Amino acid sequence: MRLSIIVPTYNCEAYLEEGIRSVLGQLPEDCELILVDDGSMDGTPQIVKKTREAHANVKIKICAHKGASGARNAGIEMAEGEYVAFMDCDDCLREGFLSEALPMLETGADLYIFGIRRIFLKEEPQNWTVEDKVYETVSDFADEYIRTRKLLIYSNCNKFYKTAILKEHGIRFDETVSFGEDRMLNYAFLPHCGRIVTSSLVMLLYLQRSETSMSSRRIPHFEEELKRLHEEKMQCFLSMSKGTTEEERQAFVDFDLAQVAEAVQAASHKTP
């Protein structure tokens, strides 16, 4: 089994089938789709069960409600693929992506990072992309990120993770937090990597489903959470980097702190 695609589902019957079709329409037999329902109260579990009955390389698990992190963690436990990918139930895999991306797994990297296409309701789509590049060591990757800050490190839905690293080191999503759990997983995963590959291929269609779906919700202790994520990020990259100067490292810290301050200020002006 080359790849396991894990999709947590929760009360998403209106658009789940679209996302499932985007995967199954291009999923080869040596890859699997894992649907983990997180205690849905609509028709989502029925769609999940129907999908399993129709496809041999689909696994499902119906759980009590714990949140997306708990569902993703359950999917990791079930995964048999050499690599693991994640997708949210309201997004789609780009058509033709797997036929282009799966041959890259022959390079045996520990992490693959792809692009994201954001689809808005009323605005033109945006592509977030990275260059086609191979980093032979995680130190090379950290050096590049400290200098450019443009390697799409936050999301878990634009990456292929080496499953053995997740399982051998017990790396999982933190089920106790409601914000930044994807970043935390990446900060825990990266130090265990050797070769990392970035690709200009767009993997995910990140779809805006309503006028408010892409605006930040009110998060308790938002400023404290952002500062915690900042500290984790600095610890991760500064400890991995071997080729940056003190000036580059300080500029990296200052830039990230400025981003934190900007996000806190923006959140303070949102209507509760």
Buried b / exposed e over 76-107, threshold 16 CB at 10 Å, is beebebbbbbbbbbbbbbbeebbeebbebbee
Q: Is 133 exposed, middle or buried (0-12, 13-18, 19+ CB in 10 A)?
A: middle
Query: Count of CB atoms within 10 A of residue 228's CB?
Result: 15
Which residues neighbour 49 within 8 Å (Cβ) at sequence distance 6 or greater? 60, 62
Tell me what pLDDT residue 215 has: 47
Contact 84, 160 (CB under 8 A): yes
**Residues with Cβ within 8 Å of residue 245, at least 6 apart in sequence:** none
**CB under 8 Å to 271, separation ≥6 — which residues?**
none
- Between 3.90.550.10, 3.40.50.300, 3.20.20.70, 3.40.1280.10, what CATH number should domain 1-92 receive? 3.90.550.10
Looking at residue 269, its pLDDT comes to 67
Decide: pTM greater than 0.85. yes
Which residue, among 267, 74, 62, has the nearest Cα to 179 in the 3D structure?
267
**Residues of the chain falling short of pLDDT 70:** 210-218, 269-272
Contact 198, 113 (CB under 8 A): yes
Residue 8 pairs with which residues in a beta bridge? 36
- What is the chain's alpha carbon radius of gyration, rounded to the nearest angstrom? 19
Q: Contact 149/244 with Cβ under 8 angstroms?
A: no
Reading the block at residue 19, the tokens are 């996302």
Q: Considering the chain, tell me which residue range(s) the CATH 3.90.550.10 domain(s) occupy.
A: 1-92
Q: Is 140 in a helix, a strand, or coil? A: helix
Q: What percentage of the chain's residues is helix, strand, coil (to nearest 5)?
A: 40, 20, 35
